[in-house]
Structure 1
Amino acid sequence: MGSVNDSVTTPDPPDVARALAHVAEQLRGIGRLGVAFSGGVDSSVLLALAARTLGPDRVLAVLGVSPSLAADERTAAHTVARHIGVPVVEVETREGERDAYRANGPDRCFHCKDELFTRIDAAVSAQHALDAVAYGENADDVRRHDRPGAKAAAAHRVLTPLADAGLDKAAVRRIARAFDLPCADKPAAPCLASRIPHFEIVSPRKLSEVERAEAALRRLGFNDLRVRHHGDIARIELPADDLVRAVQEPMRRQITQAVTDAGFRFVTLDLSGIQSGAFTGAYTSSNAPDQP
């Protein structure tokens, strides 16, 4: 399709045309929109659709920056926003100063998102004359029980155009490919705190150890991975197709060296493979602590 905001003479693919129509309806009457932006495929597609609908000069990408955001993810987010043609404003978030966030219960994401949206309300909306803020919840997310961050978004009246348009993850990825977004096929990359078991304290040291270990493994050619933090032990999750390569020499020694250099004493490989929400497990919204 070319650049997201280029004028094109050929019609948009059907997925894009339908999405643009739905999102245009959701954003009707909004002069300037802020998009809570991470550089992941959901927020990137939302940013691209908003830019096409409102014009890039009426859209602002807002990137929350804290120790839970890996440096590689921060750089990648700026790359995607430049491709779309929308400016980025970074806002420092301080979820690490919240006792409830550090305690790392199943509701941790509520406190993280509440901090982000509070900072946007306080430091960005007025300064940049935003009429509304949106984030990239999709239709699949709405059906999940393990997303307390959605409660924070609702409390701050944050818009959810993708979900409201009925766009699930598969549709979001198709639109990302149609826009030729750099993140179109990027694996999910939840924040670094998600690698720490519930009720184990989230600390800058642990986040740094996970970030350094995962960055080292990516340099070894593993693109989709998690390094779960169990004190001295790093439990590596990889897709099934990567497990055999990981245990063959010299790769096994290289992985061990890379992860121990990041601060861990022991390195394990989880034969179950990569698992989304591995630490949510049996926790549900019914037994998580009540939210404000």
Structure 2
Amino acid sequence: MTQNLSNAPIASDRLDRQLETKLTQLRQILAEAQKVLVAYSGGIDSTLVAKVAFDVLQDRACAVTANSPSLLPADLDDAKMQARAIGIEHQIVATAEMENPNYTSNPINRCYFCKSELHDTLKPLARSLGYEYVVDGLNADDLHDYRPGIMAAKERGVRSPLAEAGITKLEVRQLSHYLGLPWWDKPSQPCLSSRFPYGENITIEKLQRVGRAEQYLRNLLRDAGWLWDVRVRSIGDTARIEIPFEQIPKFINNINLTNLIAAFREFGFTAITLDLEGFRSGKLNDAIVQTFQT
């Protein structure tokens, strides 16, 4: 993969002592669990857990991906490919969060209902297959962000080996590179529902619209040889594109904006904007933070 991520980690074939200790601890946590079902989205966090779990436990580890309208088809394809490359058994299950009005109404704790549905699906599956634990890809940095889904997972006894070992997002990338995972620099890929401001109702049609737009944008960047964190935020019928701040001039000067606008209009957006502040993960949580501060 071409490394173009902003704020990218420095890749190394060696680990410092602290990170080597964390990797050893991660392996011990999974070994002691004896048999685990990995809640596996295909993102770099859960993929690292799946890789280490398979290395340690072999056929006593299984990765399961939840498929729903909030997952881009391309991301599901990536999850399948990565699982095959690792060698871990991989299953796909359907989740029905879109049938829950507590989720589709998009409250500030939407992720709680999403993770509740996920783990209410995975827990009985793990039990039926004889797996002792469900484990996820939560990392140590996630504990400091607004993530109501963490509580849903904890309530259902899910373990988070990366967080238990104190492994941060940067260290996830470093460990992934060290272990030879070619997608170590893969941009993050939260579910499509995170593209909508809290309070705006989520529908399958809206998810499909923003998914098509974001996939179009990803393809544009990939064809240009750029690997960036990008988002297409959907606010009413307006698409707001977020790319790394330092890459905005390159984007404006090299992308055919007329074609991009035409494509987004075809997807159903009536206005297409570029966020001049640039991409920042969790930006839609700002309103929540401001509410609590006041």
Q: Deviations over 1:102-153 (max 9, x none)?
A: 111110111101100001123x213322111100111111122x11111011
- What root-mean-square deviation, in Å, do the aligned CA atoms of Structure 1 and Structure 2 show? 2.2
Does the aligned pair in 2 maintain the 1:80–1:182 contact within 8 Å?
no
Rounded Cα–Cα distance in structure 2 between residues aligned with 1:41 and 1:236: 23
Q: Within 5 Å, which residues of 2 pair with 1:8-157?
A: 17-55=20-58, 57-122=59-124, 124-144=125-145, 146-157=146-157
Contact 1:233–1:266, Cα closer than 8 Å, also in 2: yes
More helix by share: 2
Map 1:192-211; keep pairs closer than 5 Å.
Answer: 192-211=192-211
Output the CA distance in 1 between the equivalents of 2:253 and 2:32: 58
Asked if the contact 1:196–1:229 (Cα under 8 Å) also holds between the matched residues in 2, the reply is yes
CA distance in structure 2 between the aligned counterparts of 1:112 and 1:98, rounded to whole angstroms: 9
Name the counterpart of 2:10: none
TM-score (norm 1): 0.88
Query: Distance between the aligned counterparts of 1:250 and 1:126, measured in 2?
Result: 50
Q: Secondary structure at the match of 1:63?
A: strand
Greater mean alpha carbon deviation, residues 93-102 or residues 44-53:
44-53
Secondary structure in 2 matching 1:189:
coil
Q: Secondary structure at the match of 1:194?
A: helix
Q: Which runs of 5+ in 2 are unaligned?
A: 1-12, 223-227
Report matched runs for 1:182-221 at 5 Å: 182-221=182-221
The partner residue of 1:234 within 239, 243, 254 is: 239
Unaligned runs of 5+ in 1: 1-9, 288-292
- Cα 1:286/1:63, change in 2 over 3 Å: farther
Percent of residue pairs bearing the same amino acid type: 36
Q: 1:71 offset after TM fit, Å?
A: 0.6
Counterpart code for 1:209? R
| Matched length | 275
Deviation at 1:25, TM superposition (A): 3.0
Q: Which moved more, 1:23-32 or 1:264-273?
A: 23-32
Task: State the distance in 1 between where 2:15 and 2:273 align.
Answer: 47
State the match for 1:5 in structure 2. Answer: none
* Cα pair 2:237 2:270 within 8 Å, conserved: yes
Q: Could you tell me how far 1:240 is from its partner in structure 2?
A: 1.9
List per-residue Cα deviations over 1:198-248 (Å, max 9, x = no partner): 000011011001100011112212642111111221111111233223333
If the length of structure 2 is used for normalisation, what is the TM-score? Answer: 0.87
